[in-house]
């Protein structure tokens, strides 16, 4: 049977189909997944359990429209701490609830962070928390040509 081989997981076509269906709707019932992949519900439940155990599935989440919560402004912040302040800046970022995610990256900027706020004034308050220890560059999101989409799509014909 065709498999994806790598250090972390050993996924067969049924696993991939389950992941694909859960990506589309994480609330799909085990029973329905079972019908789709042609296995019994307990088998599918067991596969899902293992996918979680092996860290393939990291979390089941819901995507919420920030605007619906009054968070009408979203922005990407590129952050370049002054020498010696990297850990301090990382701590500040973690303590700012407006930061929904943040990656450490290679290159001139050390961090790329996503902020959701209700107004420009709030955005300013977020930036002001960081600016004593880092140079920042703010890019406000205007639209999303590609809404978050399937990771499995990235696999192509490999």
Partner DNA sequence: GCTGAAATAATAAGCCG
Partner DNA sequence: CGGCTTATTATTTCAGC
Binding residues for DNA, rule: CB under 7 A, are 14, 29-32, 38-43, 45-47, 50
Instruction: Give 23's strand partners.
Output: none
The DSSP element (H or E) to which 121 belongs, if any, is: helix 120-130
Ranges within 108-147 binding its own copies (CB under 8 A): 109, 111-113, 115-118, 137-147
Using the contact rule CB under 8 A, the part of the chain among 32-40, 87-95, 128-136 near its own copies is 87-95
Print the binding letters for residues 12-41 with its own copies: x by CB under 8 A, - otherwise. Answer: -------x--xx-xxx--------------
User: Could you count the other beta carbons within 10 Å of the beta carbon of residue 37?
Assistant: 18
Please state the closest distance from residue 8 (CB atom) to DNA, in A: 14
Shorter beta-carbon distance to DNA: residue 48 or 79: 48
Are the C-beta atoms of 133 and 90 separated by less than 8 Å?
A: no
Rounded to 10 deg, the angle between the 41-53 and 13-24 helix axes is 80
Using the contact rule CB under 8 A, the part of the chain among 36-44, 127-135, 149-157 near its own copies is 149-157
Among 2, 53, 68, 83, binds its own copies (CB under 8 A): 68
CA distance 70 to 144: 18
For the purposes of burial, counting CB atoms within 10 Å of the CB of 85, is it exposed (0-12), middle (13-18) or buried (19 or more)?
Answer: middle
Among 69, 82, 120, 131, binds its own copies (CB under 8 A): 69
* Residue 151 binding partner per list its own copies, DNA, none, with a CB distance cut-off of 5 to 8 Å that depends on partner kind: its own copies
Q: Quick one: which of 86, 83, 125 has its CA closest to 105?
A: 86
The answer to whether 62 contacts its own copies (rule: CB under 8 A) is yes
């Amino acid at each position: 049977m065709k498999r994806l081989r790598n250090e972390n997981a050993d996924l067969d076509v049924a696993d991939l189909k389950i992941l694909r269906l859960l990506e589309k709707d994480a609330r799909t019932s085990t029973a329905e997944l079972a019908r789709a992949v042609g296995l019994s519900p307990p088998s599918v439940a067991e596969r899902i359990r293992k996918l979680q155990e092996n860290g393939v599935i990291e979390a089941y989440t819901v995507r919420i429209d920030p605007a619906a919560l009054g968070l009408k402004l979203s922005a990407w912040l590129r952050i370049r701490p002054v020498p010696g302040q990297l850990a301090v800046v990382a701590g500040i970022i973690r303590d700012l609830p407006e930061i929904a995610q943040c990656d450490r990256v290679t290159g001139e900027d050390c961090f790329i962070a996503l902020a959701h706020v209700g107004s420009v004034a709030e955005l300013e308050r977020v930036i002001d928390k960081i600016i004593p220890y880092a140079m920042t560059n703010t890019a406000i999101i205007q639209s999303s040509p590609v809404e978050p989409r399937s990771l499995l799509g990235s696999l192509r014909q490999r």
